[in-house]
Chains A and B, each alone.
Chain A
Amino acid sequence: MSEFFHMGGYAFNVWTSYALAFLILIVNIISPILRHKKNLQKARDIQQFNRTTSDDT
């Protein structure tokens, strides 16, 4: 098991690479999801605004 983590002495290089990959994969899912939610909220606000300020009472 500890040999697995040791990676023949290259532990830093290998695990940093895999960690960076994980980080990038996660960020590129989370960030778009958050932006999507934000845009939905903005659209909601815009449509709400248009409804309340429209001319037909």
Chain B
Amino acid sequence: MSYFMIIRRESLVAFRNRHEALSPLLFFFLVCLLFPLAVGSSSKILDDISSGIIWTAILLATLMSLTHLFRKEYDDGTLELMMLSHHSLAVLVMIKLAAHWIINILPLIVLAPFIASALGMDLHIQGALLLTLFLGTPSLILIGATVATLTLVIPQNGMLLALLVLPLYVPVLIFGTSAVDAAASGLPTAGPLYMMAAILILSLTLTPFAIVSALKIGISQ
């Protein structure tokens, strides 16, 4: 039952810090807005890179949301209490990450189709886009959380976090956009989608251990 309480707690904290939860959404929207202004709204160019724009913007927004993952809990000692509880730390972490995804990333995925239409993406391609987002963003959160917990001991970890995480994000980005591009050209999308699913499963099974290990390292300070 207390696992549900964690989701409730996360939602409550997020609601009381609305600006923190809304920042990724606003950032995503603004970045996507920049591209038509920068490359000119002639539909051909925008059309070709629309999948790349949305994926990159979501990736960067996810990165932003990671900087405040565990930060408050680490700073005020809640993290140590969580680790001392008799619940499995791995499960606690996974639930917290699930809540983080629902609060921070799901709104972006909901907004994505509208932005995609504004960038000139056809509706049936947006289906592929949404599928890649659902497969890919959980992996981004899991991998990102691993590195975020490693950098918890560093007070201002934003820049370093970005530098450490981006090489690990590149495979997800490449497969995500290639799946959408394949759909746009009428080619089979199964290949990249399977790869994204594989990355997701690998992340789900392996990153909890890494995250727990990193948390223990952070606490030992």
Decide if A and B touch, CB cutoff 8 A: no
Residues of B within 8 A of A (CB): none
